Amino acid sequence: MYKVATLNNISKKGTDRLPSGFEITSELPGADAVLVRSAKMHDLDLPESLLTIARAGAGVNNIPIDKCSEKGIVVFNTPGANANAVKELVLAGLLLSSRDIIGGVNYVQSDKENPDIAKAIEKEKKNFAGCEIAGKTLGVIGLGAIGVKVANAASKLGMKVLGCDPYISVKNAWELSRDVVPVKTNDEIFENCDYITVHVPLMDATKGLIGKDAIAKMKDGVVILNFARGGLVDTEAIKEALASGKVKKYVCDFPDAESVKLPNSIMIPHLGASTEEAEDNCAEMAVDEIVDYIENGNIRNSVNFPACDAGPVRSEGRIAILHKNIPNMITQFTAVLSESGVNIDSMLNKSRGDLAYSLFDIEAKSTEGMKDKLSKISGVLKVRIIK
């Protein structure tokens, strides 16, 4: 029986997908897998039994990726599962920033006891007037699952859309509307757009992507939307730009102690993926990833190990080896199997940076003896007998 620990409330539509042989537990010790959303895991002791962690969402800042890699723990996320929910909130952000809807609603509530409110509204509504987004130019930085949906939807709303992503996948490129204009650099977006939205992961290379230098290149009165990660926008730089009017509005889904004080900003309480549908989709994908990895050894959507899919197990035995990406590893693996008198039916080997993964389908039952010999090879992180 495999134990799956849940560190947050996980949608029942997801956990109901666990097949027989899997059980949910609230205890981390002894768990084979973890399902997590936002719970912080950096200070947790990860048990030796732990094979995999699946984040029901895209960001994995709450998971100690390096520690997991060293221990041979495969970390999954669920890219695209919440893309539509985030897309819809970005569109809401575009509208909230272009027309003072929030100010208007607050005004009505503040004057709701006025018996002549209908007349008062007609006099005051000019204070909340704005502009339409049709005909304006939107720049989308990052054309992943969310960015593509935002670009396509904005184009349908009559906006001219520029998109920049030097690493766009073939799948996302096919899905991108022909009306979206691809550009090669972020500077082209900074210089030409009325609205700019960022949809890239937070890492060393993207931290402070929207900073003083970037803002200086932008049009006066630009609107910046951040529904990806707070650290992508430099708080001090955006504070100065908002105060001066260089940036008209800043819409952010990641308020903190500093950003909530920013003038001319709209701070949303991290609602991007907070829909029933998105939580269901993320949970279902996370569970499927865990089950396929444990039962078949397949890796899809891992953030630390390479993708590797050998399909369901049809051979007499399958051995999965997580290891460092160094020379001569495959030769050593095949030597162990040869010494055990085992023929290899098929083999997959994939690498990702310093890490690699090998799957061997063999024409005999896998044994603990094979596992022990393979585990002793220098550079091996974890060996599993799948069947």
Which are the catalytic amino acids? 229, 258, 270
CA dihedral 173, 179, 183, 186 (to 10 degrees): -100
Residue bearing tokens 């003896």: 369
Q: How many CA atoms lie less than 13 Å away from 12 in the CB half-sphere?
A: 0
In whole angstroms, give the CA distance from residue 56 to residue 38.
Answer: 9
Q: Give the torsion through C-alpha atoms of 14, 229, 101, 180, to 10 deg.
A: -90
| Residues contacting residue 277 through CB under 8 Å, at least 6 positions apart | 84, 85
The H or E element containing residue 319 is strand 317-324
83-98 and 101-110 helices, crossing angle to 10°: 70
246: burial class by Cβ within 10 Å (0-12, 13-18, 19+)?
Answer: middle
**Strands, sheet with 137-141, edge to edge from the N-terminal-most edge strand:** 181-182, 160-164, 137-141, 195-198, 222-226, 247-252, 265-267
- Report DSSP state, residue 194: S
Order of all β-strands in the sheet with 74-76: 22-25, 2-6, 33-36, 52-55, 74-76
Q: Where are the alpha helices (DSSP H) in the chain?
A: 12-15, 65-70, 83-98, 101-110, 117-124, 145-156, 170-175, 186-192, 212-216, 235-244, 276-296, 329-339, 368-375
CA distance 180 to 140: 10
Place of tokens 């290379």: 205
DSSP annotation of 133: S
